Amino acid sequence: MKARIYFIAFLIAASGSSCEKFLDVQPKELISDELTIYDRVSSEQAVNGTYSALANDSYYGTGFQSIGYLSGDNVAWTGSQSQIQEFINHQVSGENSTVTGAWAAIYRVINRANQVIAKVAEVNDPQLTPELRNQFIGEAYFLRALSYFDLARTWGGVPLITDPTLSYDDNSGIPRSTRAETYAQVLRDLEVAEPLLPATTNRYRATQKTVWALKARYYLYLSDWAKAEEYATKLISDITNYDLVKPYNAFFANNARGTKESVFEIFYNGTTEVNPHRGQWQPQTNGGTRQWAPNDSLVSLLNNTTKGGNRNTLIAKDNQNRWYGNLYYRTPASDPSFVIRIAELFLIRAEARANLDKNTQALQDLDAVRRRADLPASTAVTKEEILLALENERRLEFALEPHRWFDLIRTGRATTVLNFTDVNKYLMPIPSQQLLVDPALQQNPGY
């Protein structure tokens, strides 16, 4: 069926609404549009379905995240899927199934968010209080903002779809917006979401604090250092709710979830919602495939007590003396996917402050992360030394999370650090099948 994947209408119904099981939902794609969102319960189910799409295997389950770390310099491919090697070689094809799946999964979140935004506002149900209505709509705006942020940093400018997709040819022929326009859409959505959301702490659902965290990351990417510092500080200052838990692995080891380290993480219950990351990282003896593993360089850095500190708990050895990643390890696969941690906010603020020539304050933030890793204070002095120290610290702090590639791209350091010369490869290719069915789409240069 010729239709762009991101235009398929995923109309949502879901079961379960407790905080602990809000991702335990079962989307039903064949429910008629008139019955999809019509009261408080169906409104909540639709929001749950949007979070469920965020947790999809091809988005924050594994696919999209793998683009962020496979394309960096921390991971080695050990399996039989040649498309994985494309990321490591920086020769990704438009036919790459991970790229195709991630693009479709992100637009699926956008369409579900669009359904919530358009329809919850019209629901007439006394049980849907104004506060709850605002919360649901605010969550949808936040999730759409996160989706467009991920599209922009991965593909550049993309088609901006802000209305629900009701038929296969809705929105057909819409060209790509520019990257700047796509980022502007992110900010618009965050600005709308912020006053609608509660000023509470929730590590699994969007609140005003989650918006602040994503704003800090957004402004970092756009090099607005003052705003990045401002919004990172909002979270860091909330010491009652957010802190660098100690030791380093306290935020994920021993089945931990929802610790003070976490700003926003995705919940998986291990039954109807499983995190496929576990299977990719764990060795065969632990029931995984070890399709990818920490490379020799990362292993050396993590095991160096002067650089990795106590972060070597991210890796372990199997019975064949092979290293494997151990951030995702639970049986059943109920490991959270960590979208934003407080450590990122410290390092965002440090980078912003360094670029604002606040070197002393920048080092204080950098050293807070280092102390948690049982490392001494940084010896960096100049702005340039601090920025390089931050680059190296982020590499290890988020070694198995999807930051390294995007960090090197946004700082213009990818070609130097990763030893390739084609800056066109800073962006992923638009999936080939999307180009075939919609002539309005144009491929990124170099593909």
Residue 232 lies in a domain: no
The pLDDT value given to residue 30:
30
**116 closest CA partner among 98, 136, 96:** 136
Helical pair 179-196 and 208-221, crossing angle rounded to 10 deg: 160
Helix, coil or strand: residue 321: coil
Instruction: Classify residue 352: in a domain, yes or no.
Output: no
Residue 168: the pLDDT is 58
Last residue of a domain, one of 337, 359, 375: 337
Handedness of CA 64, 295, 425, 443 (dihedral sign): negative
- Beta-carbon count within 10 A of 222 CB: 16
Residue 378 lies in a domain: no
State how far the Cα of 362 lies from the Cα of 360, in Å rounded to an integer: 5
Residue 423 falls inside a structural domain = yes
Measure the CA–CA gap between 71 and 89, rounded to whole angstroms.
8
- Does residue 157 sit in helix, strand or coil? coil
Considering the domain architecture, whether residues 192 and 289 belong to the same structural domain is answered as no
Beta-bridge partners for 264: 340
Query: Same domain, yes or no, for 436 and 312?
Result: no
First to last CA, the chain: 25
Question: Are both 316 and 186 inside the same structural domain?
Answer: no
H-run or E-run covering 266: strand 262-266
- Is pTM beyond 0.85? Reply is yes
Residue 34's domain comprises 1-197+419-447
| Residue 8 sits in the same domain as residue 112 | yes
Please check whether residues 172 and 27 belong to one and the same domain: yes
Residue 171 and residue 295 in one domain: no
Query: 404, 387, 413: which is closest to 70 by C-alpha?
Result: 404
Q: Concatenate the DSSP letters of all residues of 68-82 into one string.
A: HHHTTTSEEE-SS-H
Q: Give the separation between CA 304 and CA 296, rounded to whole angstroms.
A: 12
Residues 55 and 155 in one domain: yes
Contact 100, 433 (CB under 8 A): yes
Lookup: tokens for 115: 């359904």
71 and 182 within one domain: yes
**Spatial distance between the Cα atoms of 153 and 147, rounded to a whole number of angstroms:** 10
Q: Is residue 355 part of a domain?
A: no
Q: Is residue 27 part of a domain?
A: yes
- Percent helix, strand, coil in the chain, to 5, is 50, 5, 45
Decide: helix, strand or coil at residue 182. Answer: helix
Cα gap 425→336, rounded to integer Å:
30
Q: Work out how many domains the chain is built from and give that number.
A: 2
How confident is the prediction along the chain (447 residues), in pLDDT tens digits per residue? 334 333 333 333 333 333 333 333 333 333 334 458 999 999 999 999 999 999 999 999 999 999 999 999 999 999 877 889 999 999 999 999 999 999 999 999 999 999 999 999 999 999 999 999 999 999 999 999 999 999 999 999 999 999 998 765 677 788 999 999 999 999 999 999 999 999 999 999 999 999 999 999 999 999 999 999 999 999 999 999 999 999 999 999 999 999 999 999 999 999 999 999 999 999 999 999 999 999 999 999 999 999 999 999 999 999 999 999 999 999 999 999 999 999 999 999 999 999 999 999 999 999 999 999 999 999 999 999 999 999 999 999 999 999 999 999 999 999 999 999 999 999 999 999 999 988 899 999 999
Angstrom distance (rounded) from CA 292 to CA 278: 11
H or E stretch including 231? helix 225-236
Peptide bond between residue 402 and the one before it cis (omega within 30 degrees of 0): no
Per the domain annotation, does 18 fall within a domain? yes
Query: Is the torsion defined by CA of 42, 16, 146, 435 positive or negative?
Result: negative
424 and 306 within one domain: no
Verify that 162 and 298 share a domain, yes or no.
no
188 and 314 co-located in one domain: no
The answer to whether position 245 is within a domain reads no
Grouping H, G, I as helix, E, B as strand and the rest as coil, residue 339 is: strand
Last residue of a domain, one of 337, 353, 384: 337
pLDDT score at 81: 73
Q: 314, 337, 360 — which closes off a domain? A: 337
Q: Are residues 180 and 296 in the same domain?
A: no
